[in-house]
Amino acid sequence: MLALKSLTKSFKATTAVDSACLEIEQGEMVGVIGRSGAGKSTLLRLINRLSDPTAGEIVFDGKDVAKMRGRELRKWRSDCAMIFQQFNLVGRMDVLGNVISGRLFEIPSWRAMARVWTPEERALAIRALDRLDMAQTALQRAETLSGGQQQRVAIARALAQEPRMMLADEPIASLDPLNAKVVMDALRAINRQDGITVMCNLHTLDTARNYCDRIVGMLKGRVVFDGTPAQLTPDVVRDVYGAEHGEIDESATSTSLRGETGQRPVVAHA
Amino acid sequence: MALSLTQDQITEVRASHPDAFPDRAQAIRRWVPWAIALAYLLWSLSFFEFGKLLESSDRVLRLLAAFVTWEDMATWNYGRIYAGILETLGMAFLGTLLGAVGSLFVGFLAARNVVRLAAPRHAVRRFLDIFRGIDQVVWALVFVRAVGLGPLAGVMAIFISDLGTLSKLFSEAIENVDKKEIEGIRATGAGPLKVICYGYLPQVAPVMLSQTLYFFESATRTATILGVVGAGGIGMIIIERFRATLYDQVAFVVLNVLIVVAIIDWLSGRLRSTLIGR
Amino acid sequence: MTDATAGGTKGGRKDPVTLFERHRAEMLRARRGTTILLGVLFVGFTLWSAWISNFTPQRLAEGLPRIFEYFQTITPALEWDKLFVGRDASGDAVPGSITFWYTDFWKYMELLGVTILMALTATMLGAGAAFLMCFPAARNLTPNYPVYWITRRFMEFCRGVPEILFALVFVFMVGIGPLAGVLAIAVHTAGALGKLFAEVNENASLKPVDGIAAVGGTWAERMLLGVFPQVAPNLISYGLLRFEINVRSSAIVGFVGAGGIGQELNRTISFYSDDRVLAVLILVVVTVTLIDLLSERVRERFIGTEST
């Protein structure tokens, strides 16, 4: 179980994350929503310590991640995989190498830097790619793939880590609707089949509703909503996004292919 | 590690995706260039008797110690040292100036759009190649033999080698001008000299000035070296001190030169950015 | 046509020509100060530098004929009819032939070979050191500021001191011979390439670095797997360019006793003022030009294939 206790991150003038308290059980699929700048990205990056907290604790399995350093920290990062909006793959390296790099923590440095992989590592990587239907691109350079394909490779890399939890920072923000669906389906499948906790920053409400068991809403760095999709009424939505007047039209940012929100279906083809 | 994968599963993947599992031949091909490079390096280190460096470690340490222990600082001839630095700067400045002015003329001679005939242009270019191909230090040695020790040889060396390089750069800039502006001036009935002044120069002047400044920067560096072979400037003073085993003074002078060069680099960089900015 | 009295108005508006003239005069006045100052400085500096370099018309007049004389002495006395004549019955070369001019041809070739090897080894050693230093010396990649500062200052030192001075020092340390040259050029290369490599690194995208950090990679793994694949083509290109330059330097560094063809050239120029000077010079220029061309080809092919 992951527990965030009064987690705070402030820069000189602003507080990006303000005393966030959250408890996430193993196996949950959590969607984090909020307007741009609400602190969603910072929150996720605090969890895997790509950013360091100013105050508070991050407790996983009884240990405080916020205080980890060196090898212990790297072990945590290998247990806690991250998917980025811009994929963050190594462009000039082949897809296979990118996926295997998920196991960097386990692979001895010299083998990693010389890029000498064992058959077990290769097999693991191919199986992960196969789950994402990308095994046929294994020997291509990652930069030759399209955005949607690269994100799937990134997910395969995360799978190769054999993680306990996955953080996804706006994983579909740069993708077209078809690829967005593929990626979100993959994340949900991993969550259901492997029992891996998934925490997802999303900027489209309907995606959050469709895929997540639990939704966390953030505004100005504070957690202002924590509940099920059903509890996310239009009033609550308005509070989370801090809209002053009028209704928020969720379909304005919808990337769904069918009218699954029950509202006017949006034309969304590539 | 990958204990979560059984041997059967690995075999299965190997069978379905053989490309992902390189065989011995592929692995060898990958490492062969590195092996060759390493073999060459080791051989050449023994060829050059690299071991001598380790054997002479006590000499090395003594020398390094001599560089940092500064004694009798009051007796050092500061006047000569700073005069030498100024002489070096003067050499670099004059050599670059003459080189730039000369290259201005020769640059036009070597430009395709100014001198239409191929033959004289190619002749000029080959001469410039020779000037450029012979290193500045070699020119300095030659000029020292010809006109004697001292900064005159250095100025000539810088002039000739700059002529070789700057002329090529200038001629390339001239060849890359926007023809429309030239046509515009020519259409007013201006003669060739005026076309050059109003049509070519305004376009190429910033580039030329910028390059000249850059060459001045680099001339202040090389002028020090020229002195080492006798062509005047601080280089001669450094050699003197070195031969007289006054290593602390050598270190002092070199430090001063480094600082002066750094200052000139900075100034020149600022000048160049204002030029390009305009 | 216009009423050009000072401050004259025409129905409430000032006369445009007067305004312009006044504005122009103001601008000129403001600029003139700096222009005059710069102009004076420039002319002054030119005159001073001419004086300090003994660049007087008198010296020039004396010197120029001597330059031409010198070039005459080092030109070989070749005779058309004997140009390609080989050695005669007793094994001596015939004066006036190319064979005579290049009596020591094979000695020169051997020295040239050593010179090129010097450049190759020095470039490899220097590039290796530069590679190790270029990551700590990149502002966006360095683990902490003191490491960055020290690495940068060290590289500046290696780059700032002229190779010949390093060569002098190394000759003192390890004796006359090519080793001193290799070490001197390697040290200078480490500084020059280190700076270039670090600049390339500073322009690299940090996204893959973040990616490797997120899977639990160490700093070294982040550099080698995240940064290096991006910058590799640039590093190789700069390395090849440096090899070209180093071939030139290897030829020069011999002047202070650090081996290679430079030592021979120095000997010839200093002790003999005859056609051997030109013989060696021509060989050096040809070699350097060939290496330049070759290196350019290799670089083009390398960058070309990379961009496909």
Q: What is the 3-state secondary structure (H, E, C) of C188-251?
A: HHHHHHHHHHHHHHHCCCCHHHHHHHHCCCCHHHHHHHHHHHHHHHHHHHHHHHHHHHHHHHHH
- DSSP per-residue codes, A127-192: HHHHHTT-GGGTTSBGGGS-HHHHHHHHHHHHHHT--SEEEEESTTTTS-HHHHHHHHHHHHHHHH
Q: Chains A, B: CB contacts under 8 A, how many? A: 41
User: What integer pLDDT is reported at residue C96 of this predicted model?
Assistant: 72
Chain-chain contact of A90 with C208 (C-beta, under 8 angstroms):
yes
User: What integer pLDDT is reported at residue C2 of this predicted model?
Assistant: 46
User: What integer pLDDT is reported at residue B181 of this predicted model?
Assistant: 81
Chain-chain contact of C160 with B45 (C-beta, under 8 angstroms):
no
Q: C13-14 and C9-10: which strand pairing?
A: antiparallel
Instruction: Inform me whether the pLDDT recorded for C182 exceeds 90.
Output: yes
Q: Which residues of A touch C135 (CB under 8 A)?
A: none
Say whether residue B255 is in contact with chain C using an 8 A CB cutoff. no
Q: Which residues of B touch A125 (CB under 8 A)?
A: 20
Residue A266's pLDDT band (boundaries 50, 70, 90)? very low
3-state secondary structure of A56: strand
Chain-chain contact of A162 with B13 (C-beta, under 8 angstroms):
no
C153 plus C293 within the same structural domain: yes
What CA–CA distances, in Å, run from A111 to A122, A156, A196, B28, C224?
13, 21, 28, 16, 12
Chain-chain contact of A127 with B17 (C-beta, under 8 angstroms):
no
Tokens for C175, please give them.
């004796």
Please answer whether residues A197 and A164 qualify as being in contact, where contact means their C-beta atoms are separated by less than 8 angstroms: yes
CA distance A131 to chain B (A): 13
Q: Residues 118 to 177 of B: which have CB under 8 A from any C CB?
A: 129-130, 133-135, 137-138, 141-143, 145-148, 150-152, 154-156
Chain segment B89-135, per-residue pLDDT in tens:
889 999 999 999 999 888 888 887 777 777 888 888 888 888 887 88
Least confident of A68-72, A197-201, C99-103, C207-211: C99-103
C13 plus C160 within the same structural domain: no
User: What integer pLDDT is reported at residue A256 of this predicted model?
Assistant: 59
Nearest CB among A96, A121, A135 relative to B2 is that of A121
Tokens for A137, please give them.
């691109």
Of all residues in chain B, the one with the smallest CA distance to C49 is B90
**Most confident of the ranges A30-39, A92-101, A247-256, B100-109:** A92-101
- What range does the domain containing C14 cover? 9-52
User: What integer pLDDT is reported at residue C275 of this predicted model?
Assistant: 79
Specify the DSSP class assigned to residue A248.
-
The chains found to touch A (3+ Cβ pairs under 8 angstroms) are B, C
C46 plus C133 within the same structural domain: no
Chain-chain contact of C207 with A109 (C-beta, under 8 angstroms):
no
Chain segment A36-59, per-residue pLDDT in tens:
888 899 999 999 999 999 999 999
Fold of the CATH domain B75-277: MetI-like fold (1.10.3720)
Q: Residues 90 to 119 of C: which have CB under 8 A from any B CB?
A: 117-118
User: What integer pLDDT is reported at residue A258 of this predicted model?
Assistant: 53
When comparing pLDDT for C32 and A123, which is higher? A123
In a domain, C67, yes or no: no
Chain-chain contact of B133 with C288 (C-beta, under 8 angstroms):
yes
User: What integer pLDDT is reported at residue A189 of this predicted model?
Assistant: 94
Q: Which residues of B touch A120 (CB under 8 A)?
A: 1-2, 5, 10
Please answer whether residues B84 and B237 qualify as being in contact, where contact means their C-beta atoms are separated by less than 8 angstroms: yes
Chain segment C93-150, per-residue pLDDT in tens:
777 777 777 778 888 889 999 999 999 999 999 999 999 999 999 999 998 999 999 9
When comparing pLDDT for A150 and B273, which is higher? A150
Residue A268's pLDDT band (boundaries 50, 70, 90)? very low
In a domain, C92, yes or no: no
**Most confident of the ranges A205-214, B218-227, C18-27:** A205-214
Instruction: Inform me whether the pLDDT recorded for A245 exceeds 60.
Output: no
Chain segment C221-268, per-residue pLDDT in tens:
999 999 999 999 889 889 988 998 899 889 888 888 888 888 888 888
Residue A249's pLDDT band (boundaries 50, 70, 90)? low
Q: Which residues of C touch B53 (CB under 8 A)?
A: 173-174, 179, 183
Mean pLDDT across the stretch C50-71? 78
Q: What is the C-alpha to C-alpha distance for residues A87 and A85, in angstroms, rounded to an integer?
A: 6
- DSSP per-residue codes, A39-55: SHHHHHHHHTTSS--SE
CA distance B39 to chain C (A): 11
Q: What is the pTM of this model?
A: 0.81
Q: What is the C-alpha to C-alpha distance for residues A171 and A133, in angstroms, rounded to an integer?
A: 18
* % pLDDT > 70, chain A: 90
Instruction: Inform me whether the pLDDT recorded for C181 exceeds 90.
Output: yes
Count of structural domains, chain C: 2
Q: Which residues pair with A198 in a beta bridge?
A: A29, A166
C37 plus C147 within the same structural domain: no
Q: Which residues pair with A169 in a beta bridge?
A: A201
Tell me how many degrees the CA angle B204-B216-B226 measures, rounded to the nearest 5: 140
Ramachandran angles phi, psi of B67, nearest 5°: -65, -30
Mean pLDDT across the stretch B215-227? 86
When comparing pLDDT for C11 and A95, which is higher? A95
Tokens for A92, please give them.
């000039």
User: What integer pLDDT is reported at residue A261 of this predicted model?
Assistant: 47
User: What integer pLDDT is reported at residue A167 of this predicted model?
Assistant: 95
How many other CB atoms are there within 10 angstroms of residue C41's CB atom?
A: 10
- Identify the CATH homologous superfamily for domain A2-253: P-loop containing nucleotide triphosphate hydrolases (3.40.50.300)
User: What integer pLDDT is reported at residue C158 of this predicted model?
Assistant: 93
User: What integer pLDDT is reported at residue C267 of this predicted model?
Assistant: 83
Residue A144's pLDDT band (boundaries 50, 70, 90)? very high
When comparing pLDDT for A74 and C92, which is higher? A74
Mean pLDDT across the stretch C59-74? 79
- Mean predicted lDDT score pLDDT of chain C: 83
Residue C13's pLDDT band (boundaries 50, 70, 90)? low
Tokens for A85, please give them.
């909006």
Alpha helices in chain C (DSSP H): 16-52, 57-74, 98-101, 105-134, 145-160, 163-174, 178-202, 207-214, 219-221, 228-253, 260-271, 275-306
| B169: nearest Cα among B120, B210, B218 | B210
Is this complex scored with an ipTM above 0.85? no
C44 plus C160 within the same structural domain: no
In a domain, C65, yes or no: no
Say whether residue B41 is in contact with chain C using an 8 A CB cutoff. yes
User: What integer pLDDT is reported at residue A33 of this predicted model?
Assistant: 92
Instruction: Inform me whether the pLDDT recorded for C1 exceeds 60.
Output: no
CA distance A170 to chain B (A): 29
Q: What is the C-alpha to C-alpha distance for residues A80 and C228, in angstroms, rounded to an integer?
A: 25
Of all residues in chain A, the one with the smallest CA distance to C308 is A144
Say whether residue B227 is in contact with chain C using an 8 A CB cutoff. no
C30 plus C136 within the same structural domain: no
Could you tell me the residue ranges of all domains in chain A?
2-253
C121 plus C261 within the same structural domain: yes
User: If 0-12 CB within 10 Å is exposed, 13-18 middle and 19+ buried, where does residue C91 land?
Assistant: exposed
The span from the first CA to the last CA of chain B, in angstroms, equals: 61
* % pLDDT > 70, chain B: 97
With an 8 Å Cβ cutoff, the interface of chain A facing chain C consists of 48, 50, 74-78, 81-82, 84, 86-93, 101-105, 109, 112-113, 154, 157, 161
Chain-chain contact of C70 with B145 (C-beta, under 8 angstroms):
yes
User: What integer pLDDT is reported at residue A15 of this predicted model?
Assistant: 87
Place of tokens 């070296």: B225
